[in-house]
Each structure stands twice: as structure tokens, then as C-alpha cells.
Amino acid sequence: MVKALFNAVIIKPIEEEESVHGNIVVPDMGKDKNLKGEVVSVGPGYYTQMGNFIETTVKVGDIVLLPQMGPSKMDYNGEEYYMIEENKILGVIENE
């Protein structure tokens, strides 16, 4: 497994389901939606220029929302993952 460093977070994407109306499958094409995924690795944090240590707040297992254009994509052992700095995560989904 890849281990996140500093304030990096590694996320496994969660595929959104397509809408079905009767026998017709309606894909979500052409819609800019935020990405959703499960956190699989979290770095410990980082030091500010003043020397203060800032810990990461997301945890492994959290479901998070990512901006469409923010994360870097990475393939590891045939699986796709996103890598992003913690402060660029849009939010954590609770009670899902």
C-alpha cells in the first residue's frame, strides 16, 4: 500500500450509480460533479513556517468530497486512487 506523507491524503474513488428509468439507463454525462471517495491513507501533518505542527484531521475510512479539478490521479496495483492535500478536501460526509 502507498503511504501518505505530510498533509497528503490518499483516497479510493467511490463510483456514482447511474439512474435507471424503466429499462433505460441514464448516465450522468456532461455534469461537473464533485468527486467522492473513501480515505485509505493519511499523512501525519506538516510544520508551518513558524515551526508549529499541524495534524491532519481526516481519518482512514472517512468518506470525503473532492473538487473536480483538484486531486492527482494515481494507479497502484491496478486500482485508481486520488492524492490531494488535506486542506483542498471540500468536506467529510457523515452518516452514510
- Residue 90, number of CB atoms within 10 A of its CB: 12
- Grid coordinates representing 89 are 478536501
- Whether 49 is covered by a domain: the verdict is yes
Please state, in angstroms and as integers, the Cα–Cα distance from residue 78 to each residue in 1, 19, 58, following that order.
Answer: 12, 27, 25
Residue 34's pLDDT is what? 74
pLDDT per residue, tens digit, the chain (96 aa), is 789 999 999 999 997 665 555 666 656 555 567 789 999 999 999 999 999 999 999 999 999 999 988 899 999 999 999 999 999 999 999 875
Residue 25's pLDDT is what? 60
- Whether 80 is covered by a domain: the verdict is yes
- Whether 86 is covered by a domain: the verdict is yes
DSSP assignment of 17-45: PPEEETTEEE--TT----EEEEEEEE--E
- Residue 56, SS3? coil
**Per the structure, how many domains does the chain have?**
1
